[in-house]
Amino acid sequence: MSMLETLTAVFRDVFEDEELEISRETTATDIPDWDSLRHVTLMLNVEKTFGVRFSSAEIANLKDVGELLDLTVSKTAASA
C-alpha cells in the first residue's frame, strides 16, 4: 500500500466516509466536514499511523494533502 493509500484510509476513518477520495491537491475546503476539531483528530491519527510527530508550526504551514504527504515522507525517512 502506498503512503497516499494509507493516508486516504486515515482520512476515511477520521471523516467517517468510506467513499472519500483525496489527492495531493485536496485542501480543507474540498471536504465539507473538515473543521478545526477534525483537523486536530486527523493530524493525531496521521502521527499515530506513520509513527511520526509534527510540530505546531509544521501543521500550521500545510496548504494541502500533498504537503502533508511530503512532510510525512520526510519524517518517516528521518526516523528510519
In the chain, the percentage of residues whose pLDDT exceeds 90 is 94
In this predicted model, what pLDDT tens digit does every residue of 12-45 receive, in sequence order? 999 999 999 999 999 999 999 999 999 999 999 9
**Phi, psi of 45, rounded to the nearest 5 degrees:** -70, -35
Q: In whole angstroms, what is the distance from residue 33 CA to residue 1 CA?
A: 26
Task: Write the burial class of residue 12 (CB in 10 Å: 0-12 exposed, 13-18 middle, 19+ buried).
Answer: middle
Q: Which residue has the cell 483528530?
A: 41
Among the listed residues 19, 20, 1, the one whose alpha carbon sits nearest the alpha carbon of residue 65: 20
Residue at 52: amino acid letter: V
CATH top-level class of 3-79: mainly alpha
Q: In whole angstroms, what is the distance from residue 49 CA to residue 1 CA?
A: 13
Res. 64: pLDDT tops 80: yes
